[in-house]
Structure 1
Amino acid sequence: MTVLVTGATGGLGNMVLNHLKNIIPQKEIYGLARNNDKSQKLLKSGFNVKIATYDDPTLLEQAFEGVNRLLLISSSEIDHRQEQHKNVIDAAQKAGVSYIAYTSFAKATKANSPLSEDHAYTENLILNTGIDHTFLRNNWYLENEKTLLDTALITGKVVHAGGNGQAGWQLRREFAEVAARAISGQFSFPNVLEVGGSLITYQQLFEALERFSGKKIEIISSDNNAASKYLQDFADLPKEVANIYVSSQEIIRSGDLAVQADNMTKYLGRPLISTDDALKELLHLT
């Protein structure tokens, strides 16, 4: 059996590889890198490497030759994501890949977020191939909130635009571990898996931060402009970057991430760590 992880030099992909080598022989594992320079770290870590980009159908088909199971980590290039994903899936079908796991978005086919459109499109492409699959509908990385959490600790105050919306925040490494187990072929996974932690609001997230930091934090739910200004003023972010952060808070406010996760204990092989412990790990709190 040969397993290939795309986006292998990125944060999530590299974590998947490191979990995967604890499940199946490392000689069966390949990482997809964009070029030879990017591949060096993977090679030094003992992984096999194939070279291709999502933009090159020919190289993708060559890279997937002999691959049985493929993890497609969604592209970060929003403007080209659909085209790139089609290239990957077409190449996988031509190369005879027998299983695709895809990092999708919570309740992708029913959510209203701009993010969901690309993921619903990609899921449909995979369905149309007839290839066995698992759609890993990932909720929200806790790491996405690190700037906000750090700034709250420094200032004793946080302003967010998430309202009463809920998200299933969890550490990236746990999403990676679920993906590794899915792609390994050693465990039974469904065609669609909602992946995430317990649903909580920003209010509850920052109350947990208060408990373990021992610092009182004023938690203010406001509008997009106020949330952006807070990040500009106190996190020293340019307006454009602050607005991107706030747009993710908008998604949470909309309710698109208020999706109850499936049985993570069953698919991870253990319970997810609690929000409190995840915060301590992320922020190195004791």
Structure 2
Amino acid sequence: MILITGATGHIGSAVIDRLLQLTAPGQVAGLVRDEAKAADLKARGVQLRVGNYRDPASLDRAMQGVSKVLLVSGGADEDGLQQHYNVVDAAKKAGVTCLAYTSRALQNPATLANQLMERHFQTEDYIRASGVPYVLFRNILYMDTLPQFVGPQVLERGIQLPAGMGEVAFALRQEMGEAIANVLADSRCDNRIFTFTGSTTYSFADVAAALSELSGRKVEYTPIEEAAFAARLQAQGLPPAVIQRISGFLTDIRNGQEATVSTDLADALGRPPASLPEGLSTIFKL
């Protein structure tokens, strides 16, 4: 039995989609907060376990009869790290024989501007210290997040971000989910680390060029100063903590944190991952 946490989220559902193709019926379980919102998963044969990261008792119940667990990293909650610890503790208590985690592919955790990312590596350390055999998936920034960075009117206004000419080996969330499932369906769990990235790095200038080619409209990328970017977000009514987080992502891109390239994703998929133009065509429906 493989338990996928965050089963109704983007990456969790992508993993489940693929696992249902690879495993025997009844061998996939999903941790959900609200069973009513997961009726489609239940209809497809996924066993639903109701619980959440903040409730250790619910996690203990969810882990019963489970051999593998995929801990999908939580959001930006203040107690997010403790939530991760709760899942690890429950897995250990239940005698789970393989604990997988969706971490992040970043060049140097010691010099991150976006300090929220540090909890990924703290979670990795906690998993190692637990003694439970593990698999770590270090994922690059999802290509699917690009609309959040470039804005809904990117074709009209272009891209103005404080990311310099920093590059990212973007990859599609769906392909990462597929690759994670392929690994989880394997019987091995020998403390492996997979770095899932695209095959090529791209700057936001490359994103603009690809959007221009796909749309037939001229899209330009203009690097701007962080202060000007923050002022723009503040004028849009975003709270300071959110502005700081977004700016941190872009600073890390500018500093090369997201420029790791690995063949692990291609190897796990059995094919090259989608290129930037291929991904953007799907994401922006161009």
Relative to the length of structure 1, the TM-score reads 0.89
Residue 116 to residue 108, structure 1, CA distance change in 2 (3 Å):
farther
Residue identity matched to 1:273: A
Q: Give the match for residue 136 of structure 2.
A: 135
Q: Give the match for residue 252 of structure 2.
A: 251
Residue identity matched to 1:135: L
Partner Cα separation in structure 1 for residue 188 and residue 85 of structure 2: 27
Residue 37 to residue 71, structure 1, CA distance change in 2 (3 Å):
same
Q: Give the match for residue 55 of structure 1.
A: 54
SS of the equivalent of 1:27 reads coil
Measured after TM superposition, the shift of residue 118 of structure 1 is 0.5
Partner Cα separation in structure 2 for residue 128 and residue 232 of structure 1: 41
Residue identity matched to 2:72: I
Listed as ranges, the gaps of 5+ residues in structure 2 are none
SS of the equivalent of 1:41 reads helix
Q: Give the match for residue 73 of structure 1.
A: 72
Residue 210 to residue 111, structure 1, CA distance change in 2 (3 Å):
farther
Measured after TM superposition, the shift of residue 30 of structure 1 is 0.3
Matched pairs, number: 280
Partner Cα separation in structure 1 for residue 263 and residue 110 of structure 2: 17
1:107, 1:259 within 8 Å by CA — same for their partners in 2?
yes
Partner Cα separation in structure 2 for residue 107 and residue 204 of structure 1: 20
1:86, 1:125 within 8 Å by CA — same for their partners in 2?
yes
Residue 8 to residue 60, structure 1, CA distance change in 2 (3 Å):
same
Residue 256 to residue 108, structure 1, CA distance change in 2 (3 Å):
closer
2:53, 2:86 within 8 Å by CA — same for their partners in 1?
yes
SS of the equivalent of 1:22 reads helix
1:108, 1:116 within 8 Å by CA — same for their partners in 2?
no
2:2, 2:66 within 8 Å by CA — same for their partners in 1?
yes
Residue 227 to residue 109, structure 1, CA distance change in 2 (3 Å):
closer
Alignment of 1:222 with 2:221, yes or no, is: no
Measured after TM superposition, the shift of residue 243 of structure 1 is 5.8
Q: Give the match for residue 153 of structure 2.
A: 151
Aligned alpha-carbon RMSD (Å): 2.3
Partner Cα separation in structure 2 for residue 146 and residue 245 of structure 1: 13
1:108, 1:119 within 8 Å by CA — same for their partners in 2?
no
Alignment of 1:91 with 2:94, yes or no, is: no
Alignment of 1:180 with 2:181, yes or no, is: yes
SS of the equivalent of 1:21 reads helix
Residue identity matched to 1:112: T
Partner Cα separation in structure 2 for residue 243 and residue 129 of structure 1: 33
1:104, 1:137 within 8 Å by CA — same for their partners in 2?
yes
Residue identity matched to 1:105: R
Residue identity matched to 2:217: K
Measured after TM superposition, the shift of residue 112 of structure 1 is 2.5
Q: Equivalent pairs: percent with the same residue?
A: 29
Partner Cα separation in structure 2 for residue 77 and residue 250 of structure 1: 18
2:134, 2:189 within 8 Å by CA — same for their partners in 1?
no
Q: Give the match for residue 105 of structure 1.
A: 104
Relative to the length of structure 2, the TM-score reads 0.89
SS of the equivalent of 2:52 reads coil
Measured after TM superposition, the shift of residue 75 of structure 1 is 0.9
